[in-house]
C-alpha cells in the first residue's frame, strides 16, 4: 500500500468498523443461536426435508430404498452420513426438471449454470425459496459490513447466472439502494461508481480487478471515492489477489460463496474479521469428506465440501458433492455469529492440475504471481500434452524486460509450488480480461486424455 493511499483508506475502514460499536445482524436470533440449539433445528429441518424428497422425488426415493433407508431412520445428524451423495451428473441425467420436488407450474423462477460440456444444470425455486434466499443474502451482506441505506453497485451478471439476481434481491431485502449494473460496459461502470457514490461493489474478483484497471487507464482514482466494501465471489481467488484489489480499489474485500445447485450466492460469507466464511447452518448441513473414499474427515482437515439443503422446497439436495476444496472450523468467531466457518475455497477438485506428478490448483499459482514485481495480475495457464506428460505454460503480462520476468516467474513457481512451468511473457493487455468468471486455464490437451 502506498504512503499516499494509506491515510484515506485507513480512515474509511476505521469509520465503518468502529463508528457505532454495537454489533449489527440482519437476523440476530438465527445468526447467534447457541450451537446445541442450532443442531436441534438442523435435525428437525433435515428430517422434514428428507421426507419431502422421499415422497416427491422418485430419484431420491429409489436410491434410499436401495440402501433400505427411510427418512425416519435418520435420527441424528451423524445418521445423515449414511445417505447417498448427489452429484452434478445426477442433475444433468434428470435434465431439466427431474429432481424437482414441486410441479414446475408452482415454481417462481428457474436459473441455470452452463457447464463446459453438454446440457446446463437447471435449478428451480418456489416463492418461499426465493424469500429464504433473499434473507440469507441480506444476512450475508450485513455480515460483510453492508448496512441499510448503503448504495450497492451490483456487477454480477444478471440472467440465468444466480449472481446478479441473487445479490440484487438480498440487497433490496436488507434495505439498500441497488444499481443493477450486471457485467460488461466497464467504462460505464467506472463512471457510475463515481457519479452515484457506491459504498459497496459486488463483482467477481477478476472483474473487480478489470474495473480497477479501466479506472486507472481513464485517470479515475476510485480509491479517492466512496467505495468501502467489495463483496467478491463466484470463482477461486487468493489472499494475494485480495491484497491487490483492496490496494487498487481502496476497499475491504469480502469473500462470498455459493452455488446454484444449493441456492446461489449467500451460502457462506466472511464477516468483517475476514477469517473464514460463515456457512448458514440453519439452512444447510455442511460436511467435509475425503474425495477419494467419500468418508468424513476430522474437523479442520481439508477435503471436499458436501452440502445438504434443510429448507429448500423446489429442489431439496441430499449430500451434494460440490467438488470445492476447503476445511471447516466451529471455533467461536469474534463477530458473535455461532455458525461454522469454511476456509477460503482454494479450488475445485476438477480444476486440479497434475504437472509431472505434482498436484496444483490455479489459485496457488495466482498466489505466487500476484504481487511479483514487474508483472500485471492477469494470467492464463495453458495445458498441453507432450508424449505422456502434461506441460504447463504460464502466460503473464510484463511491464519490464521479458527475459528477466520469465526467469523470475519460473524460479518463484518452482521454489514455492515445486512445479516446472514454461513462462510466456505477453505485452500489456494481451491476457483476456474477465467480465464475470475468469477463464484461468486453456486446456489444449487431446480430448481423449
Binding site for ligand DLL (CB under 6 A): 113, 156, 161-163, 233-236, 255-260, 264-265, 322, 324, 345, 348
Burial level of 262, CB count in 10 A (0-12/13-18/19+)?
A: buried
- Pick 137 or 368: Cβ nearer ligand DLL: 137
- Pick 259 or 394: Cβ nearer ligand DLL: 259
Q: How far is the CB of 145 from ligand DLL (least distance, A)?
A: 16
- Pick 12 or 139: Cβ nearer ligand DLL: 139
Q: List, in order, residues 6 or more apart from 81 with CB less than 8 Å away.
A: 287, 296
Residue 245: closest CA among 365, 366, 377, 142 = 377
- Pick 117 or 448: Cβ nearer ligand DLL: 117
Record the cell numbers describing residue 368, joined without a space.
505466487
173 Cα distance to chain centroid: 21
Q: How far is the CB of 232 from ligand DLL (least distance, A)?
A: 7
Cα–Cα distance for residue pair 447/433, rounded to 1 Å: 26
- Pick 162 or 210: Cβ nearer ligand DLL: 162
Q: How far is the CB of 26 from ligand DLL (least distance, A)?
A: 17
- Pick 54 or 232: Cβ nearer ligand DLL: 232
Q: How far is the CB of 271 from ligand DLL (least distance, A)?
A: 14
Q: How far is the CB of 264 from ligand DLL (least distance, A)?
A: 5
- Pick 154 or 338: Cβ nearer ligand DLL: 154
Q: How far is the CB of 202 from ligand DLL (least distance, A)?
A: 8
- Pick 130 or 234: Cβ nearer ligand DLL: 234
Q: How far is the CB of 111 from ligand DLL (least distance, A)?
A: 8
Residue 113: closest CA among 280, 260, 269, 327 = 260
- Pick 305 or 425: Cβ nearer ligand DLL: 305
Q: How far is the CB of 126 from ligand DLL (least distance, A)?
A: 19
- Pick 105 or 350: Cβ nearer ligand DLL: 350
Q: How far is the CB of 440 from ligand DLL (least distance, A)?
A: 12
Q: How far is the CB of 326 from ligand DLL (least distance, A)?
A: 9
- Pick 194 or 346: Cβ nearer ligand DLL: 346
Three-state secondary structure readout of the chain: CCCCCHHHHHHHHHHHHHCCCCCCCCCHHHHCCCHHHHHHHHHHHHHHHHHHHHHHCHHHHHHHHHCCCCHHHCCCCHHHHHCCCECHHHHHHCCCCCCCCCCHHHCCEEEEECCCCCCCEEEEECHHHHHHHHHHHHHHHHHCCCCCCCEEEECCCCCCCHHHHHHHHHHHHHCCEEEECCCCCHHHHHHHHHHHCCCEEEECHHHHHHHHHHHHHCCCCHHHCCCCEEEEECCCCCHHHHHHHHHHHCCEEEEEEEECCCCEEEEEEECCCCCCEEECCCCEEEEEECCCCCCECCCCCCEEEEEEECCCCCCCCCCEEEEEEECEECCCCCCCCCCCEECCCCEEHHHCEEECCEEECHHHHHHHHCCCCCEEEEEEEEEEEECCEEEEEEEEEECCCHHHHHHHHHHHHHHHHCCCCEEEEECCCCCCCCCCCCCCEEECCCCCC
- Pick 162 or 313: Cβ nearer ligand DLL: 162
Q: Looking up cell 445417505, which residue turns up? A: 83
Q: How far is the CB of 235 from ligand DLL (least distance, A)?
A: 5
Residue nearest to ligand DLL (CB): 233
Cα–Cα distance for residue pair 259/267, rounded to 1 Å: 8
Q: How far is the CB of 412 from ligand DLL (least distance, A)?
A: 23
Amino acid at each position: 500500500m502506498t504512503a499516499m493511499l494509506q491515510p484515506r483508506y485507513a480512515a474509511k475502514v476505521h469509520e465503518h468498523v468502529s463508528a457505532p460499536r454495537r454489533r449489527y445482524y440482519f437476523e440476530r436470533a438465527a445468526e447467534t443461536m447457541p450451537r446445541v440449539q442450532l443442531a436441534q433445528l438442523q435435525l428437525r429441518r433435515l428430517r422434514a426435508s428428507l421426507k419431502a424428497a422421499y415422497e416427491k422425488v422418485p430419484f431420491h426415493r429409489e436410491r434410499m430404498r436401495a440402501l433400505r433407508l427411510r427418512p425416519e431412520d435418520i435420527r441424528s445428524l451423524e445418521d445423515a452420513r449414511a445417505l447417498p451423495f448427489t452429484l452434478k451428473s445426477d442433475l444433468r441425467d434428470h435434465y431439466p426438471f427431474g429432481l424437482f420436488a414441486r410441479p414446475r407450474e408452482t415454481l417462481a423462477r428457474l436459473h441455470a449454470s452452463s457447464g463446459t460440456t453438454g446440457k446446463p444444470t437447471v435449478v428451480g425455486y418456489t416463492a418461499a425459496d426465493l424469500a429464504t434466499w433473499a434473507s440469507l443474502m441480506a444476512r450475508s451482506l450485513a455480515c460483510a459490513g453492508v448496512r441499510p441505506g448503503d448504495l450497492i453497485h451490483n456487477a454480477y451478471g444478471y440472467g440465468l447466472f444466480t449472481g446478479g439476481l441473487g445479490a440484487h434481491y438480498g440487497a433490496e431485502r436488507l434495505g439498500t439502494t441497488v444499481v443493477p449494473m450486471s457485467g460488461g460496459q466497464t467504462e460505464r461502470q467506472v463512471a457510475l461508481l463515481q457519479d452515484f457514490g457506491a459504498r459497496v461493489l459486488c463483482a467477481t474478483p477478476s472483474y473487480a480487478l478489470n474495473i480497477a484497471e479501466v479506472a486507472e487507464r481513464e485517470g479515475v482514482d476510485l480509491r479517492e471515492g466512496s467505495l468501502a466494501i467489495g463483496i467478491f465471489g463466484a470463482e477461486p481467488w487468493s489472499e494475494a489477489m485480495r491484497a491487490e484489489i483492496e490496494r487498487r480499489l481502496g476497499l475491504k474485500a469480502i469473500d462470498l460463496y455459493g452455488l446454484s445447485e444449493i441456492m446461489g450466492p449467500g451460502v457462506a460469507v466472511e464477516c468483517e474479521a475476514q477469517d473464514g466464511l460463515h456457512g448458514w447452518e440453519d439452512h444447510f448441513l455442511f460436511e467435509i469428506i475425503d474425495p477419494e473414499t467419500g468418508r468424513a474427515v476430522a474437523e479442520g482437515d481439508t477435503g471436499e465440501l458436501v452440502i445438504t439443503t434443510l429448507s429448500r422446497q423446489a429442489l431439496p439436495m441430499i449430500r451434494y458433492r460440490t467438488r470445492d476444496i476447503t476445511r471447516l472450523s466451529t471455533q467461536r468467531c469474534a463477530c458473535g455469529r455461532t455458525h461454522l466457518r469454511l476456509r477460503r475455497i482454494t479450488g475445485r477438485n476438477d480444476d486440479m492440475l497434475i504437472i509431472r506428478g505434482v498436484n496444483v490448483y490455479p489459485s496457488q499459482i495466482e498466489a505466487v504471481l500476484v504481487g511479483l514485481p514487474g508483472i500485471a495480475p492477469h494470467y492464463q495457464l495453458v495445458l498441453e500434452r507432450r508424449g505422456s506428460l502434461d506441460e504447463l505454460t504460464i502466460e503473464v503480462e510484463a511491464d519490464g524486460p521479458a527475459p528477466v520476468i520469465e526467469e523470475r516467474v519460473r524460479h518463484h513457481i518452482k521454489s514455492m509450488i515445486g512445479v516446472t512451468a514454461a513462462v510466456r511473457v505477453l505485452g500489456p493487455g494481451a491476457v483476456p480480461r474477465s467480465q464475470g468468471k475468469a477463464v484461468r486455464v486453456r486446456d489444449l490437451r487431446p480430448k481423449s486424455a
